[in-house]
Structure 1
């Protein structure tokens, strides 16, 4: 059975693949794996004037549910808190949005579903 290091390495590869996929669609990578109070921001990207906080979720298949289902209201609150901390720490004031990219499959055959403005900070 794979250990936590294997899962972490696989997660890093999927996040890199998602970042490359989004860059091919015009987003610019600013940072990845930003640890902030209350959570971690997988990808911080720029889309025009907007700073985009991207949550990357991966499942090999949808047998145990689609990856989008894992971005619960509790997870959203944690991401919002981490994003606010990131903005404060970097002294940024700009339009922001929260995207989710659901990745299914095994490398190199990954499928991406990009949900822009998946939720809002309330």
Structure 2
């Protein structure tokens, strides 16, 4: 969530470092639970001073 776009919108908060941490955590979880589960990351972006702007991005970062 971002209360304003002054430093970039909500999507700008999903940095390459954050993406790497999430994918590593997901790979670890899937390896520990012995299965080939479908996995994707969606992002719900909330911006605006009154939280009135919501965007859902499906499959936010695809590794294919």
TM over 0.5: yes
Deviation larger for 112-121 or 88-97? 88-97
Matched, 1:71 2:14: yes
By relative contact order (CA 8 Å, sep 6+), the higher-ranking structure is 2
Matched, 1:83 2:26: yes
- Which SS does the other structure have where 1:77 is aligned? helix
CA RMSD of aligned residues (A): 2.1
Q: Once superposed, which parts of structure 1, at least 4 consecutive aligned residues long, lie more than 4 Å away?
A: none
What is the TM-score when the length of structure 2 is the normalising length?
A: 0.75
SS at 2:8 equivalent: coil
TM-score normalised over the length of structure 1: 0.44
- Structure 2 gaps of 5+ residues are none
Q: Specify which structure has the higher proportion of strand.
A: 1
